[in-house]
Structure 1
Amino acid sequence: MTKAAILCVDDETVVLESLKEQLKRSMGDKYIYEVAESAEDAWEILEELKKEGVEILIIVSDWLMPGMKGDEFLIKVHQEFPQIVKVMLTGQATQASIERAKQEANLHSCIYKPWTEDELTETIISGLE
C-alpha cells in the first residue's frame, strides 16, 4: 500500500497544531500529516518524502510567511509536483495573489482564517476526489 501524506505550511505553530489535529480527527490514520513553518522547510519535507516513496496528496499553505509567500511557494510546488492538490490558507492574501495561484499553481481552493473544521475537511475531501 502506498503511503500518502498531507503537508501543512504556516509560520504560526498554533495554526499548524490546529490544522494537524483537525485533519487527524476528520481523516483518521489514512494519511501521514506533516507540518512546516516555512516554504523552505516544506520544500525539504517534500524532497524527503519523495525519496521515501511517500506520495504527497495535498499541501495546505499559508499565504503570508517570511521568506516566500504562499502563492510563490505553491507555484514552485506545481512546477515540480503538478499532481499535488494545492490549498491556500489565508487571512491576508490579496485577490491578485489568489488569482495568480489559481492560474499558475492550479490552486484547488482558498480557505480564509479563521476557518471551521468542517470547511477544512470538506476542502480536503473535495481535493482528494
Structure 2
Amino acid sequence: MAADKITILYVDDEENNLFSFKATFRIKYQVLVAISGEEALKILATKKVHVIITDQRMPGMTGVDFLEKVLEEYPDPMRILLTGYADMNAVVDAVNKGKIFHYLAKPWNEEELDMTINRAYEKYLERAQLKEMNEKLAGSNDQLEFMLRQRLLS
C-alpha cells in the first residue's frame, strides 16, 4: 500500500457495514476496520490513522464514548460520526465530548462520505503543519532565552 494514502479507521458493530465500507474505499484509501470501540483502540495503539469514522449505536461502547477515549490518547486523527438514528443528543455529545469534525447520517452516501474524508484529511494536514510550526517556534524561543541569559551573565 502506498505510504501517501489516507489511512482511515472505520468502526461499526455490523460486519456487513465493515465489508461494504472496505469494498467501497479500499482502492483509494488505506482502510482499517474494527467491529468495536475496544478493537479500534487496539488498532490505534499500533497504527497511524488520519481519519476515524465510527457508528454511534454499538453495544458496549457508543461512538461518542469511543471518540472521547480517542481524544484522550490520540487527539490528532479527525473524527467523523455516523448514525442511522435521528438522535440529536448523540450528535450534540459527539460535537461537545468527542470533538468530531463532521456528522453523517446512515446509510452513508459514497460521494458525500468521500468528500468529507478528503476535507477531514486537509484539516488533519493543516493541524499537523500548525503543530510543527508551534514546536519550531517554541524551540526558537528556548534558544533565544538561552542566548539572552548568556548575555546577561557575561
Q: TM-score, normalised by structure 2?
A: 0.72
Is there any run of 5+ residues in structure 2 with no aligned partner, and where? 123-154
- Whether the aligned pair in 2 keeps the contact of 1:63 and 1:93 (CA below 8 Å) is no
How many Å apart are 1:72 and its aligned residue?
0.7
**Structure number with larger C-alpha Rg:** 2
Identify the residue that residue 132 of structure 2 maps to in structure 1. Answer: none
Q: CA RMSD in A?
A: 1.7
- Relative contact order higher in (CA < 8 Å, ≥ 6 apart): 1
Matches within 5 A, 1:1-129: 5-25=7-27, 28=28, 31-49=29-47, 55-92=48-85, 94-129=87-122
| Distance across 1 between alignment mates of 2:6 and 2:104 | 22
Structure 1 runs, 4 residues or longer, greater than 4 Å off? 1-4
Question: Structure 1 length as normaliser, TM-score?
Answer: 0.85
Greater helix fraction, Structure 1 or Structure 2 = 2
Letter aligned with residue 71 of structure 1? V
Letter in 1 for 2:26: K
> Within 2, Cα distance between the matches of 1:59 and 1:43?
11
Aligned mates of 1:121, 1:96 — CA distance in 2: 25
Count of residue pairs the alignment pairs up: 120
| Structure that is richer in strand per residue | 1
Task: Provide closer, same or farther for how the CA distance between residues 22 and 3 of structure 1 changes in structure 2, counting only shifts above 3 A.
Answer: closer
Identity of aligned residues (%): 38
Aligned equivalents of 1:93, 1:57: Cα separation in 2: 27
